[in-house]
């Protein structure tokens, strides 16, 4: 993988340390601390720090509800209630800091999530490694014919091999030129901040990413979804596993209401009510467009 010998040593040193604390500790999260979870061919996600647990969400919620909410005294029930009713601020009381290594084209999608704090590896200051994302053959797929923003069936045989060959050759050639330009063999090399400009978007970058649980759930809702591009979805999936161990009740509610739930329009709800009454509802008499109807049917079929 992806980790340099220095990073492996740093992780081992960090994992060898432990400190007594009066702060909240999530046992499920402690096992993840510093450990790198591999993603794609050279990437990873690892937890650097965190704050809070399921109880911290309830503690914050009870500040607003006080003693008057006997019916939601049970922590899991309270968390489900908060999630169901979009009472989101208690989830902001938990935070997570991740170290992520990811291809630049994935980083461009990720950085659109503005409600996080980011510090990225500087390619002005440091030299980038010769590490490029090259998809596994089963992920070398054709343009989708039904979704302009997606991929269809995997390319086969020679066609797939040729694509992989192009990706590898172009990546290496660009990196050879990068090295040549920054080389100070006998004279001043080109500035790193300029030499990087012809490197392709499949080169890896790294950042620290800190976000609260409410905004993390928003990110995961969008990026662990099947509409998200595979290459960012696998990062979201890896983070989902960590969050499930960190705040099991909150993650359970998120999985149920957000990942597993559906957001139906007024027209769609009207169709559901008509179907329950036994009426035959079709796209033509639904009031929905063909695209809306297709998505509605997909939601109902699961
Ligand atoms: C499948 C998919 C396809 C996409 N395709 C494209 C595309 O083709 N082109 C493209 O440019 N983007 C695309 N995006 C990115 C998308 O439009 C959002 O920018 C991205 O998902 C971040 O969402 P967000 O703004 O809700 O998140 P965050 O930036 O984390 O914001 C969270 C919430 O905070 C609030 N907020 C934050 N900042 C502001 C602000 N300045 N003003 C008002 N409210 C704010 C909003 O309520 C927002 O929902 C795509 C995203 C997905 C998931």
23 carries a ligand binding annotation: no
- pLDDT recorded at residue 64: 66
Establish whether residue 227 lines the binding site of ligand 1, counting it when its CB lies within 6 angstroms of any ligand atom: yes
Ligand 1 atom nearest to CA at 223: 53
**Residue 239 confidence class, pLDDT cut points 50, 70, 90:** very high
Q: Does ligand 1 lie within 6 Å of residue 233's CB atom?
A: no
- State the pTM of this model: 0.92
128 lines ligand 1 (CB under 6 A): no
pLDDT (mean) for 173-195: 88
What distance in angstroms lies between residue 218's CA and the mean position of ligand 1's atoms?
10
Question: 192 an active-site residue?
Answer: no
Q: Cβ(239) to ligand 1 under 6 A? A: no
Instruction: Give Dmax over CA atoms of the chain in angstroms.
Output: 83
pLDDT of 153 > 80? The answer is: no
- Distance from the alpha carbon of residue 255 to the mean position of ligand 1, in angstroms: 21
CA of 112 to the centre of ligand 1 (A): 6
218 lines ligand 1 (CB under 6 A): yes
Cβ of residue 228 lying under 6 Å from some atom of ligand 1 = yes
Query: HEC states along 190-203?
Result: CCHHHHHHHCCCCE
110 assigned to a ligand binding site = yes
What residues does 238 pair with on adjacent strands? none
Percent of the chain past pLDDT 90, that is, above it, reads 70
Quote the mean pLDDT of the chain: 91
Question: Is 207 part of any known ligand binding site?
Answer: no
CA distances from 120 to 12, 45, 66, 92, 98 (A): 23, 14, 41, 23, 12
Measured at the CA of 126, the angle between CA 125 and CA 127, to 5 degrees, comes to 135
Determine the residue of 112, 226, 263 to mutate for testing ligand 1's pocket, defined as the one with the most ligand atoms within 8 A of the Cβ atom: 112
Q: Does residue 150 surpass a pLDDT of 80?
A: no
91, 109, 113, 114: residue to mutate for ligand 1 pocket, most atoms within 8 A of CB: 114
What string of H, E and C letters represents the secondary structure of 109-162?
Answer: HHCCCCCCEEEECCCCCCCCCCCECCCCHHHCEEECCCCCCCEEEECCHHHHHH
Q: How confident is the model at residue 10 (pLDDT cuts 50, 70, 90)?
A: confident
Q: Residue 162 Cα, ligand 1 centroid: separation in angstroms?
A: 35
> What pLDDT score was predicted for residue 88?
97
CATH number assigned to the domain covering 5-133+202-259: 3.30.1360.170
Contact 121, 206 (CB under 8 A): yes
Of residues 184 and 109, more confidence is placed in: 109
Domain boundaries, the chain: 5-133+202-259, 136-200, 266-301
Rounded Cα distance between 73 and 55, Å, is 12
Helix/strand/coil for 57: helix
Q: Which neighbouring-strand residues pair with 97? A: 49, 210
Q: Which of 13, 33, 12, 16 minimizes the C-alpha distance to 99?
A: 33
Choosing from 223, 267, 273, 274, the catalytic residue is 223
């Amino acid at each position: 993988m992806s980790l340099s010998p220095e990073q492996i040593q740093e992780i081992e040193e960090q994992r060898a340390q432990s400190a007594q604390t009066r702060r909240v500790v999530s046992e499920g999260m402690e096992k993840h601390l510093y450990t790198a979870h591999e993603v794609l061919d050279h990437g990873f996600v690892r937890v650097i720090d965190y704050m809070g647990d399921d109880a911290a969400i309830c503690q914050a919620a009870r500040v607003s509800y006080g003693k008057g909410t006997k019916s939601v005294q049970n922590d899991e029930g309270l968390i489900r209630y908060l999630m169901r009713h979009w009472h989101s601020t208690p989830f902001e009381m938990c935070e997570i800091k991740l170290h992520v290594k990811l291809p630049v084209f994935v980083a461009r999608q990720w950085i659109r999530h503005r409600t996080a704090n980011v510090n990225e590896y500087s390619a002005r200051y440091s030299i980038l490694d010769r590490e490029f994302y090259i998809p596994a053959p089963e992920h070398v797929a054709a343009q989708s014919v039904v979704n302009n923003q997606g991929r269809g069936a995997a390319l086969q045989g020679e066609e797939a091999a040729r694509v992989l060959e192009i990706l590898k050759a172009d990546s290496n050639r660009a990196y050879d030129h990068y090295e040549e330009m920054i080389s100070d063999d006998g004279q001043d090399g080109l500035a790193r901040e300029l030499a990087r400009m012809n490197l392709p978007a499949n080169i890896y970058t790294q950042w620290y990413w800190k976000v609260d649980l409410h905004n993390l759930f928003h990110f995961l809702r969008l990026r662990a979804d099947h509409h998200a591009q595979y290459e960012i979805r696998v990062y979201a999936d890896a983070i989902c596993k960590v969050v499930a161990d960190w705040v099991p009740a909150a993650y359970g509610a998120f999985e149920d209401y957000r990942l597993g739930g559906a957001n139906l329009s007024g027209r769609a709800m009207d169709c559901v009510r008509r179907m329950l009454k036994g009426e035959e509802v079709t796209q033509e008499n639904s009031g929905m467009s063909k695209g809306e109807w297709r998505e509605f049917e997909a939601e109902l079929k699961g």
